[in-house]
């Protein structure tokens, strides 16, 4: 059985999370968001969770090695049960990518293909999108909504479809903060892409400035899938 690990890569607001949710929902894939995974570890009070919690409480960035370890643990657990899994927004830096590759080489997870999916969108569109989006206020849910996208609008205005909590504008979706997040993203993005090019990884570019439905259809065509 061919197994695929997709790395969804792109700026904040490119729609990585929304596209992964749709793939999970329609294609039966499993998605992994490192943010959610960190929260789960903290809540379950695992050894990794304790270290993550300590970093956050002491105001430090979570170490690359910790992030890589929780993602690798997740893969080891889920990869055998799913044909395709998505790592959403991982790796973020070349350091994480290198550590991840090393870990994959050392610990046998069986054969799979690593496919980098680059969501291509220009900065102006990202700024427009992020300053308009609303997010579920429930920390464990954080589903993202956009009024203008048929696929992303909540059924009831201001209320999350999944958990009925209220929808809010996130503080870091403020325009000046979004622009800063983009600067940080671009600092790492080119480096990371070059790394995967050198590693001869399979890279797919997906035009991401369309509606979610359109982006999904472009992506499915590029990987040669028809909807299940």
Residues that bind Zn ion (CB under 5 A): 136, 138, 141, 143, 160, 162-163, 165
Write down the least CB distance from residue 168 to Zn ion, Å.
Answer: 11
Q: Is 138 exposed, middle or buried (0-12, 13-18, 19+ CB in 10 A)?
A: middle
**Token pair belonging to 221:** 């065509």
**For residues 117 and 167, which CB has a smaller minimum distance to Zn ion in the complex?**
167
**For residues 37 and 68, which CB has a smaller minimum distance to Zn ion in the complex?**
37
Distance CA 90, CA 105 (A): 18
Nearest alpha carbon to residue 114 among 205, 207, 3, 19: 3
Write down the least CB distance from residue 182 to Zn ion, Å.
Answer: 26
Q: Is 93 exposed, middle or buried (0-12, 13-18, 19+ CB in 10 A)?
A: middle
Helix (H, G, I), strand (E, B) or coil at 59: coil
**For residues 120 and 164, which CB has a smaller minimum distance to Zn ion in the complex?**
164
Write down the least CB distance from residue 134 to Zn ion, Å.
Answer: 11
Write down the least CB distance from residue 152 to Zn ion, Å.
Answer: 13
**For residues 101 and 138, which CB has a smaller minimum distance to Zn ion in the complex?**
138
Q: Is 165 left (phi over 0), alpha (psi -120 to 50) or beta?
A: beta
């Amino acid at each position: 059985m061919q197994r695929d690990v997709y790395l969804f890569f792109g700026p904040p607001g490119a729609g990585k999370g929304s596209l992964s949710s749709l793939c999970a929902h329609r294609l039966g894939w499993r998605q992994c968001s490192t943010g959610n995974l960190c929260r789960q570890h903290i809540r379950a009070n695992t050894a990794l969770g304790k270290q993550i919690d300590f970093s956050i409480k002491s105001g430090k960035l979570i170490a690359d090695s910790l992030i890589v370890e929780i993602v690798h643990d997740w893969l080891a657990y889920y990869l055998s049960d799913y044909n395709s899994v998505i790592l959403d927004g991982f790796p973020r830096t070349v350091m994480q990518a290198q550590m991840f590759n090393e870990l994959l080489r050392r610990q046998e997870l069986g054969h799979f293909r690593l496919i980098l999916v680059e969501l291509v969108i220009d900065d102006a569109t990202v700024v427009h999108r992020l300053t308009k989006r609303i997010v579920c206020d429930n920390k464990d849910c954080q589903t993202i909504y956009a009024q203008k996208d048929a696929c992303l609008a909540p059924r009831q205005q201001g209320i999350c479809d999944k958990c009925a909590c209220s929808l809010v504008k996130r503080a870091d979706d403020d325009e000046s903060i979004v622009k800063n997040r983009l600067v940080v993203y671009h600092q790492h993005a080119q480096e990371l892409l070059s790394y995967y090019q050198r590693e001869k990884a399979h890279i797919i570019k997906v035009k991401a400035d369309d509606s979610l439905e359109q982006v999904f259809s472009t992506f499915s065509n590029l990987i040669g899938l028809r909807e299940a």
